Amino acid sequence: MKLAFSTLGVPGLPVPEVLALATAHGYHGVELRAHPEEPVHPDLTPAERAEAAALFRAAGVDVLGLAGYARVAAPGEDAPVLAEIRDLLRLAHDLGAPFVRVFPGADPDRPREESDAVAARRLGSAAEDAAALGVRILLETHDSHRTGAEAIRILGPVGHRQVGALWDVMHTWLGGEQPSDSYAALAPHLGYVQVKDIASAEDTTPVALGTGVLPLTECVDVLSRRGWDGWLCWEYEKRWYEAAEPLPGLLDAGREHLVRLLGEAA
């Protein structure tokens, strides 16, 4: 498996400095948080996109994916959601990124079946654009659909190879789902896996990998036993927890922890 980290852990850091961290600490790729407050976002000009892509190529680091914020099950008209996804897809294509992340974001007061159908319809529509650009849209296990069993209610009806799943191991765990069950549900659709660690179920402050409560050993074990060889991306949520320890000082130990888990599972 290849290792990456998300720029959510180094908010606002310029691309050259992000790449310096990746190369210095042995990470193969970077997930870019595609938000206007970050250096890479959908409003970049063609020249800015080309420059960012060239920096990644020169460093020998992959753009794993773009972490977008489109909410595919949210109430409202389809057009704004589809426009947001299509902007992300075009940016991913220009950067050479294979994946775009979206959220479910259903209204809890809306009938479940209605939200699922809306999300599936939107993803099915966006899938054609994704196919034309050579990018996959990944629905993250998050918010209203935090488990694999919940995410599959949307992904199953879509039935398109350009629409898949992003397994966030924190959310499936908080949803009470065992790693083996999460993998079983998501495996046919799995794009990559976001790993992390937190202090507790009540306190989701990010901590160094292997020092919190998340079942990382079990997650890596089930992936290895099933022969999955994709990406593990460390999503350290520094942007939302300013008091959390800075990510750069944790990157070496985080990589070593994941490599150790992979070795033990092999």
201-224 per-position pLDDT tens digit: 999 999 999 999 999 999 999 999
Q: Strand, helix or coil at 176?
A: coil
| Pair 48, 15: CB distance under 8 Å | no
Tokens of residue 186, six digits = 């998501």
Residues 6+ apart with CB under 8 A from 111: none
* Tokens coding 100: 């775009």
pTM value? Answer: 0.98
The values of phi and psi at residue 130, to 5°, are -60, -40
Handedness of CA 219, 220, 221, 224 (dihedral sign): positive
Cα–Cα distance for residue pair 216/20, rounded to 1 Å: 27
The candidate with the shortest Cα–Cα distance to 253, out of 8, 26, 11, 23, is: 26
Q: Which residues of the chain have a pLDDT value below 50?
A: none
Q: What does the pLDDT read at residue 104? A: 98
Q: Report CA 241 to chain centroid distance, whole Å.
A: 18
Between CA 233 and CA 239, with CA 235 as vertex, the angle to 5 degrees is 150
Query: How many Å apart are CA 89 and CA 127, to the nearest integer?
Result: 10
What is the spatial distance between Cα 239 and Cα 234, in angstroms, rounded to a whole number? 14
Provide the pairing of β-strand 2-6 with 62-71.
Answer: unpaired
Q: State residue 182's pLDDT score.
A: 98
Q: What is the per-residue pLDDT for 266?
A: 86
Q: What are phi and psi of 198, to 5 degrees?
A: -135, 165
Cβ-based neighbour number of residue 217 at 10 Å: 15
